[in-house]
Structure 1
Amino acid sequence: MSEAGRVLVVGDVMTDVIVRPEGPLVRGSDRRAKIESRPGGSGANQAVWLGSMGAKVSFVARVGARDKTHLEAYFRSFHVDPILVADPQSPSGVLVVLVDADGERSFLTDRGANLALEPSDMPVGLLGETRLVLLSGYSLFAEGPRRAALRLAEEARRRGVPIALDAASVGFLREVGVGSFLEWTRGMSTLLANADEAEALSGAGDLTAQMIALGAYFERVIIKRGARGAAVGGRQGVRLDEPAPQVEVVDTTGAGDAFAAGFITAELLGAREAECLRRGIEAGSRAVKQLGGQPEQTAC
């Protein structure tokens, strides 16, 4: 789909250490568990899902210097153009994912080199051939990467390139302050948020109220509702609300990233909003049936 234009993704590269304990943790003692390491990071997940779906995608991130070469090869295997900056001091980020018996997950995060992202790392020259900037909220949760991401966003807006923002983390949203986050991102084209993030950002528990409140800041609001599907709307309220199919959940890590990729890929190919929403939900539903936040390499 090269004729549809480039998606420029900005976000984190992480190694996900996935821990599935056999039962509740025993404080001060042992619990057997299955432990695996897999590529991760919200921005990286989105880029790889987009590439696996046929989008033309470039991915911008900072990584530990010793990891740069093999990570570039990995992203290229999914048809992603990697724009990775090697950090000489900090290692690549690591995320410990604790997966409950029902597939829900909790995170312990060491963002490593991601925190050193700088404005000079941003490939502003690519905006001339970019159809959409997809920005991970993780890039806004620390001062350094925030300066870099907002610098790119400012230039994208100046050139008329739409920006889709993934809210990324309800915990970090509360840490930096909801008001600050909304002011940093006011006027971006599309907000993607899960139910908890939407509630935190809007201060409302009702879906319609969330849409109206967040529509004051974003042209379009997409709320990912997990097993309940997803909805699209804005300052006028809910425009579309689509349920999700019932599937066996293995791991919900990366489901929202797959949803974003499915929605965006369909939109770039000219699909109407309802079809984009269905494609996003289908992608998210596929993602929860596998372990880890990225598609299997055989999918590329």
Structure 2
Amino acid sequence: MRAGRSGRVLSVGRLYCDLIFTELPKMPTLGEEVFAGGLSIKPGGGAFITAAYVAALGRPVSLASALPSGPFAAALMKELEASGVDLSASQPMPDTLDPQITVAMTSGTERAFLTRRAGPAVPETFAQAIASGDFAHLHIGELATLVEAPFLIEQARGAGLSISLDCSWDDAVLARDDLAALIGAVDIFLPNETEAQRLAISPGKKPPAPLTIVKRGPEGSIAITAETTVSMPTQPVNVIDSTGAGDAFNAGFIDAWLSGKSLEQCLAAGNRCGAEAVMRVGGATDLPDLSALAKEAS
């Protein structure tokens, strides 16, 4: 199931406040203190980062998330509103909830994350948005969101939407024994190489979703279906911050896929967006107009 270029995307999942520490001389270890060369505060989470890149590519997109509350709200809302992502399907959270925060640490190509989840993964406004008939595709920002809200599949299918799903590392989620049915119900599953290894995904084996994309960072990406495997290398770039690179890849791939492009073109579009992401601090900060990237896939 695919839509044309006018197909609007709805991206759902948790929205985080990313505290990004960069220029670390090495990754922290127990009992030691490491000093970072830089710190930035940015809106994050796979659902938002993918949505921001979809918007930069020129495709209409809305975000269904719990909007930040408390001390970080003012810091994040300006960037959220400037992203080009429609926020009408999102819902403000009460100040009584803990803020959802991710501490991201990057040292060269190494990265580590510490996250606090709070509140629902899916806002109450989602049902009204999905029933509006305004959308062609649903992107689920992390597997944990689908585990928490499996009704997303039924509601999206009932509204005629195609569905993509990012994995996003979560030990507890990846250890579950009920993932096969959830992942198999989406059109596109997009784990990174480490997540794919944990889920025993590899070329030559039956993929967990009809179209399974393995993101391999500087090694490019691979598309696996029941009939074929397609790989696409990527061009080397200067890595500043790898936060959100996989989510940016998702946007490029989904935009090209919805436009009816070949698997090779979709992988190439994803690779280009991922490369764009690693050359800037923060998952989706001050993105340029990327519509030229979408045209390159034509």
Q: Same fold (TM over 0.5)?
A: yes
Kindly indicate which of the two structures has a greater share of residues assigned to strand. Answer: 1
Match of 1:190 in 2: 188
| Shift in CA distance, 15/299, structure 1 to aligned 2, threshold 3 Å | farther
**Deviation string, structure 1 residues 213-252 (Cα, Å, up to 9, x no partner):** 32xx4221111111110111212241x1111111222221
Aligned to 1:94: 101
CA contact (8 A) 1:224 1:230 kept: yes
The answer to whether the 8 A contact 1:63-1:92 is kept is no
Provide Cα deviations, 1:37-92, integer angstroms capped at 9, x if missing partner: 22211111111111111110010011344466775553332221112212223133
Identity of aligned residues (%): 26
Distance 1:228 1:170, change over 3 A: farther
Residue number in structure 2 paired with 1:230? 221
Q: Which residue of 1 aligns with 2:294?
A: none
Residue segments in structure 1 that go unaligned for 5+ positions in a row: none
Pick 1 or 2: higher relative contact order, CA cutoff 8 A, min separation 6: 2
Higher helix share: 1
**Partner SS, residue 253 of structure 1:** coil
- 1:151-199, Cα deviation, whole Å (9 max, x unpaired): 2320211233111111111534334x1x322223322111111111112
Could you list the runs of 5+ residues in structure 2 that have no partner in the other structure? Answer: 291-298
Residue 31 and residue 220 in structure 1: after superposition, are their counterparts in 2 closer, same or farther (change >3 A)? Answer: closer
Partners of 1:43 and 1:183 in 2: CA distance:
22
Provide the residue aligned with 2:25 in structure 1.
22
Q: Is 2:36 aligned against 1:33?
A: yes
Is the CA contact (8 Å cut-off) linking 2:10 and 2:135 kept in structure 1?
A: yes
2:206 corresponds to which of 206, 213, 232: 213
Q: For residue 230 of structure 1, what is the amino acid of its counterpart? A: S
The number of residues matched between the two structures is 283
Structure 2 Cα separation of the partners of residues 223 and 26 of structure 1: 29
Q: 1:98 to 1:131 in 2, by over 3 A?
A: same
| Distance 1:250-1:153 versus aligned 2 partners, 3 A rule | same
| 1:104 aligned partner | 110
Q: Secondary structure at the match of 2:136?
A: strand
TM-score norm. by structure 2 comes to 0.84
Aligned equivalent of 2:165: 165
CA RMSD of aligned residues (A): 2.7
Asked if structure 2 preserves the Cα contact closer than 8 Å seen for 1:60 and 1:122, the reply is: no
Cα gap change, 1:169/1:127 in structure 2, threshold over 3 Å: closer, same or farther?
farther
Q: CA 1:41 to 1:27, structure 2 compared with 1: closer, same or farther past 3 Å?
A: same
Task: Find out whether 1:9 has 2:11 as its counterpart.
Answer: yes
Matching residue of 1:180: 178
Q: CA deviation at 1:128?
A: 1.6
Partner of 1:131: 136
1:75 aligns to what?
80
